[in-house]
Every structure is written in structure tokens, then in C-alpha cells.
Amino acid sequence: METAIQLTNVSKAFGKFKAVDNLSLNVPRGAMFGLLGPNGAGKTTSIRMIMNITAPDTGAIRILGNPMDRAMQNRIGYLPEERGLYRKMKVIDHLYFLAAIKEVGREEAKKRIADWLDKMELGPWLNKKVDELSKGMQQKIQFIATIVHDPDILILDEPFSGLDPINVALMRDYFLEFRQRGKTIVFCTHVLEQAEKLCDEITLMARSRKILEGSIKELKHRYSQDLLRISMDASLEEVRALSGVATVKAVDGTFVVGLNPGTDRREFLRRTLERYRIDAFSQKEPELEEIYLDAVKSAGIEDRVIE
Amino acid sequence: MNWKKTFAVVRREYIERVRTKAFWIATLLIPILFLGYVAIQVALSRKTSGQRELVVVDLTGKLYKPLAAELADTEAKQKKEASGSKGPHWNLVERPLTGDLDGTKEALRKEVLAKKISGYLILEPAKLEKESIEYYSTTVSDYIALSQLQSAMNRIWLRQKMAARGLPADLAAELEHRLDLKPFKVTEKGASEEKGAGIIAAIVFLILMYSTFFMYGYQVMRGVIEEKSNRIVEIIVASVRPVELMVGKIVGIGLVGLTQYLVWSLVAMNLSLPAFAGMMSGGDLGVPRIPVSMLGYFILFFILGYFLYASVYTMIAAPFNTDQEAQQLAMIPMVMIVGGIAVYPAVMNNPTGGMALFFSLFPFTASLIMFLRTAVSEPPVWQILLCVAILISTTAALAWFAGRIYRVGILMYGKKPTIPEIIRWARYSPGKVVQPEVKQAG
């Protein structure tokens, strides 16, 4: 598959602090790609390098098959986590300015801005100062600014932070629509549930490193092998004492049992049935969060907790 | 540098600033305040031309009449010279002693306080021998009137002394003429008489340059901080390089400054400032004719100095998130600019001396001091060129350093960084801009 963004062994240090450590990733064209991880994992630095805001110390970055340069920069729309607007500027002038620095001609910009303002019902606010807009409206303006140059790739860093549920739904619709037009979206967040709903592929980062990658479906499948939900007449201690059990949690009168890697599920159930009565059992599909925590644990960097 | 993007930044900085009410208020208020100041001066000088009731207690018995004649004569002469009457008009009244001198003085004091008379003069033979005359009034600071009275008395005193020694009266008239020292400024093109107007214009321009360095340097600082505190900077640097943003901002604000100068000079030309100045200075000083060369040097050194200080202000602003945090470091350019103005009187006294040379080549005072030197003397061309070269290279070095701090600083939020941290930023590797070629299949 053609790649939209490709990072090869990219590292970046600020003084002694290594912000990104040997990161490689491939974002396929047309994908909804999640770059996930807790705050301070190196997501924003990675994105800044993709955006050519900071340059990597080592490694290579290619955008749409080309080395990153200014022309490529104009083909990406970037909504940073730290985002704001000039408060004293008129909405329309502000959008013209942000279009101009993406080298969108005045006429073209006029048309697109008018379209979007119409779509978002912001027309009456055209000549108001940014100051006078509500926070939700300001975020819509920022979104228009992100896509005014009709980019091929959209990079969104915590796009839903500070939005109310209605606007979250609205934004999500725009993203999906964008994707339907064959564009690539990189979605960057520490809220894993959001990513789980939106993304097809993810890369998990922690402590400046990549610790997990793959499509959500495949990851869930991979991790669900070892996870069982069992309803049985035993105490927590008894379940824990069974051979092959790595973790056990009591949830709503049932047990969620994690098996040691390599333990055969049928064998485990057979052995358990000999000693206890099993009322029901099912294979449990893991939450992305559980996968994440597990991956962090096995990477030996668990002291950083997801918020 | 992508000039199209840089221009978009320049345009935004310029238009957004020129559009504000604050800009127009400042632009129009300053000339209005200046004209108001001139008008007050004119009004005050009119006031000195009022009537003055002066009582003379002449204990010598032979000074009152000549004094009255002399003052009338002075006034007539002045009327002939300048079209409008300028000096005060004296109404003299002789008052004999009533009782003793102290009693007379007391009576007169009451009259002064009751505003019946403006003042009184005591001419006592004993005091005259000690070369003093006593003048009493509620206002003893009105310089023009006092000096008129004093010189009239001196002339009469001289004449009477000479008459007493039997010298001819026309000799007294001859001795009254004083020699005038006329300064001529020698330049490459010859010598031209310097009437002081050039020097006043130079000082006015110097103060103007000094205050605009502050005003616009500070605006650059505010602009940089505003972009950080608004959290817009990252949106912008995703499209524009930090150096383009920095240059665009500095140029845009500099153009605002030049626009302000342009408005001021239009106001000065149209509101007939010369007429005002003429009224005020009373003819002899003349309308300050501002030489074209002075204007040229002014623009040149304003631009050079502005870029230098703007780089310093950018450097100071980049690491911080609020004006308050930057305030402490903002003292640095302030001290530099004030330094330039602090040494100007010394430079003016000796514009070709070693000190003048030093400060006109020291980068942080050079723009102000070299401008002053070109206005009041004719520094050698090599010194001017050297000064320009020093300013340009210092600005380039500062801008480079500022650019490095800016690049890192604008993306740093959170706690206020320490100075060693800021210096460390400048050493961060900017990374390889040229990336290794990766063979791409398909």
C-alpha cells in the first residue's frame, strides 16, 4: 500500500532528554491512523518533526513518497494541541491570513472559506473579532484553518479536547467525510476510547518509544487469545491458584482470567471443569486500554500511568 | 526564505496594527500635544507683553526720567523690528518717600499684594555703588521683562558715570555696542551660518528616534509574547518558518513606525508648524530648516537601530509566556537605548572627540550617536561606513542568535525558563535539513 507518512529510525533529543527514540512508522494512504500514548510519550515531538517544525537528529521522514520539504508542508493540515487564534483579528481576515501562509490564492481562499463558514453556520460571525466568539466557534474556525488548503493529510493532535459532545460528534462527521474523500488522517490522543472508535491502525508510544503497532482488529484478536470471562463456583483465591492463570479480576460476579502465554485454553477449561462447576464462559475482547497497559508492562516501563 | 509567506506575515502585522484605534490615537495625539505645547509657549510669551505698573522710588533723584525714556525707547525699537509687539509695556510712576524708606516699602508691598501695581524698584545711592538695584514683584521669574529692565538701567548708569567723568555722550552710545560671536559650520560644501535651528532639529529628531526605538521594540516583544500566550504560534510555524515569522514581524512593525513618521511629517507640513515655530521663537531663530541630509541619515539610522533593538527584543520575548516574565530582561535593551541618550550632551559638546567616536561605533549606542554626529558635525565618511557596517553585522549576529532562541522558545510552554536554559536552547542542534535519500519503490 502506498504510504502517506513514513518515519524511518527517527530520533530527537533536547539536550540530554531523548524526546523520540528510534521511531519508525508507516501511515498508509487513506487510513485513519492513531498515534497514541500518555502525555510526554513523544507524540507531539514526532508530529512536529513530521510537520518540519523541528528537524530530527537522525532518521528519515517521507511524506507522500517525498522527502519532507516546504511543498509537502503545504499538503498537510495540522491542528496542534496547543492552538489558539489572534484574538483581535476579524474572523474573515484571520482565515485569509492562515490561507495565505499556506499559499492559497485569495480567490480560492475566499470560495473555500465561504463554503465552510456556511456549512458550520458561522456566516454571521464573519466580520466579528475572534474575541467575541465562543470557544466552540473558535475551534471550528481553527478546523477551517486546518483544511482551507485542501490538504491530502490531516494531522489532529487531541482534536476533541475542550469540545462539548455535540461538537465532538460534528467534528467526527467532518473527519469521516474527509476520509471518504481518500484523505489520510493521523489522530493523536491519550484518550484511548476515542481512538478505539475512530482508528483502523494505531501506534502506541510510551517513554519516547514505540511499544505496539498494528490494526485495532488484529491487536484485539491477538490479545483476546489469553483472556477469558468465566462464571464459576469458586473464590478469587481458588481461581488464582489454578495452574496457567496469570491474572484474575472479579467483575460483576464473574472472573476475567488472563492466562499465561502458551497455556492451552481447552486444556485449561478441561482441568477447571474437573474441580469446579462452570456456569458460563466466553472469550473476552480486550479494551484498547488493557492492551496498552499490558504492552507497557511487558516493555518494562509501567511506572507511567495513563490519565 | 519564502518571501510570499514572509510577506503575508508582514502584511498581517502591518494592517492589524495600523487599523487599531491605539495607533491613530498615538499618531495624532503626539503632534497635537506638541502643537499644544508650542501654543502654550506662544500664549505665555504674549503674557509677558502685558502692561506693567512699575513704581520707582528714586532716592538719587536723577535716574527716574532717563529710565522712563529708555524703556519707551526700547519698546519703540522692538516694535519697529518685529511686526507684532512682543516685549512688555511699562507704565512708570515715581513715588517720593513717605516717612522713612521702610515705611514706603511696606506701603508699596501692600499695593503689590493688592495687585494695584506689578512691582517697585528702589534706587538707593549706597546700593547703586555696590552695583545693585532692588526690584520687588510677585513674579520675579519673568525673564524677558527683567532683562529689559536691567539692561535699560545699565545703559543709564553707564551714561551717567561717563558724564560725571566728563567723557562725551556719544562714546557711551558706542560702548553700548557688543560684539557678536557668529558660529559657522564648516562642511565639505563650504561654510554656512549656524543659527541653532539645525541643532534644535537634531535634538528633536534624536528624541524622536530614541522614543520610537522603545515604542516599536516593545511592540515586537509584545507581539512575540502574544503569539505564544494566544497559542497560535504552532499553527503558524506549521506553515511558516520561525525565521520568516520573526523577520515578517520585525519588518511589519518597522513599517508601522515609518508610517507614523510619514503621518507626522504630513501633519507638520500641513498644519503650518513653521508659522507656529516662527511665532514662538521671535524671528531671529527662524523656521528650523531641516536639511535633506539630516532626514536621510535619520531614516538610515532609524532603520539600522530599529532592526538591532528589535532583534534584542525578540530574543528576550521568545522564552516567555507573559509580559511580566519578560519584564526583567526587557531592562537590557532599555539600558542600551537610554545609554545612547545619556551621552548625547557630551557628544554634542565635542562631536569629533574620542568619546563621540567610541559611542558612535559601539553597536548599542551607534545609531543614535552617529546620527547626532552627522547632524552637528561632519564625521569622516569612513566612520559613517564603519558604523553602518558594525550595525549591520551586529544585527545579523543578534538576529541569528535570536532566531535560534526563538525557534525553540516559541514552542516552549509552562514554567519560566532560566537564563542558562535559554542559552542552552541556542546550542540545540537544528537537525539535518537535508535528509538522507531513501530509495522508494513504486
Residues A191 and A263 in one domain: no
Residue A244 and residue A138 share a domain: no
CB within 8 Å: B435 and A60: yes
Q: What mean pLDDT is predicted for residues B375-402?
A: 90
Residue A210, domain member (yes or no): yes
- What does the radius of gyration of chain A's CA atoms come to, in whole angstroms? 23
Give the Cα separation of A41 and A52 in Å (integer). 19
Q: Which of B231, B239, B432 sits opposite A82 (nearest CB)?
A: B231
Q: What is the DSSP-derived secondary structure letter of residue A285? A: P
**Same domain, residue pair A128 and A179:** yes
Residue B289 C-alpha, separation from nearest chain A C-alpha, in angstroms: 42
Contacts of B18 (CB under 8 A, 6+ apart): B256, B259
pLDDT averaged over every residue in chain A: 84
User: Considering CB atoms only, which of B5, B235, B433 is closest to A145?
Assistant: B235
Predicted local distance difference test score (pLDDT) of residue B434:
35
What gap in Å lies between CA A150 and CA A75, rounded to an integer?
A: 8
- pLDDT, mean of residues A282-286: 75
Domain of residue A107 covers: 3-217
What is the number of other CB atoms lying within 10 angstroms of the CB of residue A163? 17
Query: Does A303 map to a domain?
Result: no
Any B CB within 8 A of A61 CB: yes
Yes or no: say if A179 and A185 are a contact pair by the CB < 8 Å rule: yes
Chain A residues in contact with B240 (beta carbon < 8 A): 101
Three-point CA angle A187, B430, B439, nearest 5°? 65
Residue B197 is predicted with a pLDDT of 61
Specify if A284 maps to a domain: yes
CA end-to-end span of chain B: 32
Band the pLDDT of A93: cuts 50, 70, 90: very high
- Which residues from B are below 8 Å from A89, CB to CB? 12, 16
Nearest CB among B8, B238, B428 relative to A51 is that of B238
Say yes or no for a CB contact (<8 Å) between A101 and B16: no
Find the residue in B nearest to A1 (Cα).
B442
Query: What residues in B contact A12, CB-CB < 8 Å?
Result: 431
C-alpha–C-alpha distance, residues A59 and A23, integer Å: 9
Q: How far apart are CA B413 and CA B416, in angstroms?
A: 8
Q: What CA–CA distances, in Å, run from B124 to A54, B67, B98, B105?
A: 90, 15, 15, 12
Q: Of A188, A217, A246, which closes a domain?
A: A217
| A101/B9 touch (CB, cutoff 8 Å), yes or no | yes
Query: pLDDT value at position A268?
Result: 84
Q: What ipTM, to 2 d.p.?
A: 0.79
B32 or A223, higher pLDDT: B32
Q: Choose, out of B4, B231, B234, the residue to mutate when testing the contact with A (most A CBs < 10 Å).
A: B234
- Of A48, A62, A84, which is closest to B230 when you measure between CB atoms? A84
Instruction: Name the residue in chain B with its Cα closest to that of A95.
Output: B12
Q: Which phi and psi angles does B180 have, rounded to 5°?
A: -100, 135
Cβ atoms B52, B91 nearer than 8 A = yes
The mean pLDDT value of chain B amounts to: 80
What's the domain count of chain A? 2
At residue B15, the 3 state secondary structure works out as helix
Q: Could you tell me if B120 and B93 are in contact, meaning their C-beta atoms sit under 8 angstroms apart? A: no
**Residue listed under C-alpha cell 488472563:** A258
B432 and A54 within 8 Å at the Cβ level: the answer is: no
Residue of B nearest to A94 (CA): B12
Instruction: Pick B424's closest partner by Cβ from A15, A61, A103.
Output: A15
Whether residue B301 has pLDDT greater than 50: yes
Shortest Cα distance from A19 to chain B (angstroms)?
13
| In a shared domain, residues A121 and A189 | yes
Instruction: Closest CB to A73: pick one of B230, B239, B424.
Output: B239
As given in the structure block, the three cell numbers for residue A53 are: 517544525
B238 Cβ contact partners less than 8 Å away, ≥ 6 residues apart = A51, A53, A73, A76, A78, A80
Work out the minimum CA distance from A57 to partner chain B, whole angstroms: 5
pLDDT of residue B254: 93
A106 touches chain B (CB under 8 A): no
Closest residue in chain B to residue A72, using alpha carbons only: B239
Helix (H, G, I), strand (E, B) or coil at B131: coil
Residue A71 forms contact with B (CB below 8 Å): no
> Chain B closest CA to A245's CA: distance in Å?
45
- Which CATH number belongs to the domain containing residue A273 in this structure? 3.30.70
Burial of A243 (0-12, 13-18, 19+ CB in 10 A): exposed
Confidence of residue B394 (pLDDT cuts 50, 70, 90): very high
Measured CA to CA, the distance from residue A142 to residue A172 in angstroms comes to 15
Per DSSP, the residues of B348-407 read HH-TTSHHHHHHHHSHHHHHHHHHHHHHHS---HHHHHHHHHHHHHHHHHHHHHHHHHHH
Which pLDDT value is given to residue B139? 72
Q: What's the CA angle centered on B35, arms B32 and B41, to 5 degrees?
A: 140
| Residue-level pLDDT at B283 | 42
Residues A61 and A169 grouped into a single domain:
yes
Helix (H) or strand (E) holding B275: helix B273-281
Q: Name the burial class of residue B322, with classes exposed (0-12), middle (13-18) and buried (19+) by CB atoms within 10 angstroms of its CB.
A: exposed
Q: What's the CATH code of the domain at A61?
A: 3.40.50.300
Judged against a pLDDT cut of 60, whether residue A307 lies above it is answered with: no
- Going by C-alpha positions, the residue among A41, A39, A57 that lies closest to residue A49 is A57
Closest CA to B303 of B375, B377, B253, B358: B253
CA distance linking residue A144 with residue B215, whole number of Å: 35
**A88 and A55 in one domain?**
yes
Q: Residues 40-59, chain A: which have Cβ within 8 Å of B?
A: 48, 51, 53-57
Of A57, A82, A89, nearest to B16 by CB-CB distance is: A89
Indicate the helix (H) or strand (E) that contains B34. helix B21-48
Count CB-CB contacts under 10 A for residue B34.
16
Instruction: Evaluate if residue B282 carries a pLDDT over 80.
Output: no
Look at residue B163 and tell me whether its pLDDT is greater than 60: yes
Q: Cβ of A299 under 8 Å from any chain B Cβ?
A: no
Cβ <8 Å between A83 and B232: yes
Closest CA to A7 of A54, A48, A61, A84: A61
- Measure in Å the smallest separation between the Cα of A78 and chain B Cα atoms: 7
Asked if A143 is an interface residue toward chain B (Cβ–Cβ < 8 A), one would say: no
**Interface residue of A98, A101, A139 to substitute, partner B, most B CBs within 10 Å:** A101
Per the CB < 8 Å rule, is B438 touching A60? yes
Please indicate whether, in this complex, the C-beta atoms of A67 and B411 are within 8 angstroms of each other: no
Cβ-based contacts of A83 with chain B (< 8 Å): 231-232, 234-235
DSSP A75: T
Residues A250 and A107 in one domain: no
3-state secondary structure of A272: helix
Q: What pLDDT shows up at residue A90?
A: 92
DSSP class per residue in B410-427: TT--SSPPPHHHHHHHHH
Q: Is the pLDDT at B149 greater than 70, yes or no? A: yes
- Bridge-partner residues for B123, per DSSP? B58
Using a CB–CB cutoff of 8 Å, tell me whether A127 touches chain B.
no
Q: How far is B418 from chain A (nearest CA, A)?
A: 15
User: How deeply is A287 buried, as exposed, middle or buried, from its count of CB atoms within 10 A (0-12, 13-18, 19+)?
Assistant: middle
Mean pLDDT over A29-46 rounds to 88
Question: How far A236 CA sits from the closest chain B CA (Å)?
Answer: 46
What pLDDT digit, counting tens, does each position of B196-235 carry?
666 777 888 888 888 888 889 999 999 998 888 888 888 8
Residue A42 inside a domain? The answer is yes
Burial class (CB in 10 A: 0-12, 13-18, 19+), B426: middle
State the Cα–Cα distance between residues A27 and A4, nearest whole angstrom: 6
List chain A residues with CB under 8 Å of B409. Answer: none
Handedness of CA A241, A243, A246, A252 (dihedral sign): negative
Reduced DSSP (H G I as helix, E B as strand, rest coil) percent helix, strand, coil of chain B, to 5 = 65, 5, 25
Phi, psi of A20 (to 5 degrees): -135, 130
Please compute, for residue A295, the number of CA atoms within 13 A of its CA located in the half-sphere on the CB side. Answer: 25
| pLDDT higher than 60, residue B272 | no
Greater model confidence, A53 or B14? B14
Residues A267 and A185 in one domain: no
**Out of A56, A82, A103, closest to residue B431 by CB:** A56
Task: Give chain B positions within 8 Å (CB) of A67.
Answer: 435, 437-438
Contact B4 A103 (CB under 8 A): yes
- As a 3-state breakdown, chain A gives helix, strand, coil percent values, each rounded to 5, of 35, 30, 35
Residues A20 and A208: beta-carbon distance below 8 Å: yes
Residue B264 distance to chain A (closest CA, Å): 26
Which of residues A217, A248, A268 is at a domain's end?
A217
Is B436 close to A65, i.e. CB distance below 8 A?
A: no
Amino acid residing at A252:
D
- Quick one: which H or E segment has residue A156? strand A153-157
Query: Domains in chain B, please, with CATH?
Result: 3-40+195-427 (no CATH), 49-175 (3.40.190.10)
Min Cα distance A228 → chain B (Å) is 44
The closest alpha carbon to B216, from B26, B372, B391, B343, belongs to B26
Cα A139 to Cα B329: distance, rounded to the nearest angstrom: 34
Q: How many CB atoms lie within 10 A of CB B36?
A: 11
A55 and A71 both lie in a single domain: yes
User: What is the bridge-based pairing of β-strands A254-259 and A227-232?
Assistant: antiparallel
Specify the DSSP element, H or E, that contains A46. Answer: helix A43-50
Q: Is the pLDDT of residue A169 over 70?
A: yes
Q: From A16, which residue of chain B is nearest by alpha-carbon distance? A: B428
Residue B268 burial by CB count (10 A; 0-12/13-18/19+): exposed, middle or buried? middle
Contacts of A57 (CB under 8 A, 6+ apart): A11, A12, A13, B429, B431, B432
Is residue A59 domain-shared with residue A164, that is, in the same domain?
Answer: yes
Phi and psi (nearest 5°) for A272? -70, -40
Q: Which three cell numbers stand for residue B226?
A: 502574544
pLDDT band with cut points at 50, 70 and 90 for residue B290: low
Nearest CA in chain B to A149: B239
For an interface test with A, which of B3, B247, B432, B435 has the most A Cβ atoms less than 10 Å from its Cβ? B435
Name the region of B13 (left: φ>0; alpha: ψ -120 to 50; beta: rest). Answer: alpha
Tell me which of B239, B410, B433 to substitute to probe the interface with A (most A C-beta atoms closer than 10 Å): B239
Residues A233 and A167 in one domain: no
Cell, residue B397: 549576529
- Among B70, B101, B75, B100, smallest CA distance to B86 is for B75
pLDDT in the model for residue B414: 64
Q: Which three cell numbers stand for residue B430?
A: 537544528
Average pLDDT of span B347-373: 89
Contacts of A99 in chain B (CB under 8 A): none
CB pair distance less than 8 Å for B235 and A83? yes
Angle between helices A91-100 and B3-18 (to 10 degrees): 160
C-alpha distance from B393 to closest chain A C-alpha (Å): 27
Task: Give yes or no: residues A195 and A48 share one domain.
Answer: yes
Decide: helix, strand or coil at residue A155: strand
Last residue of a domain, one of A192, A217, A242: A217
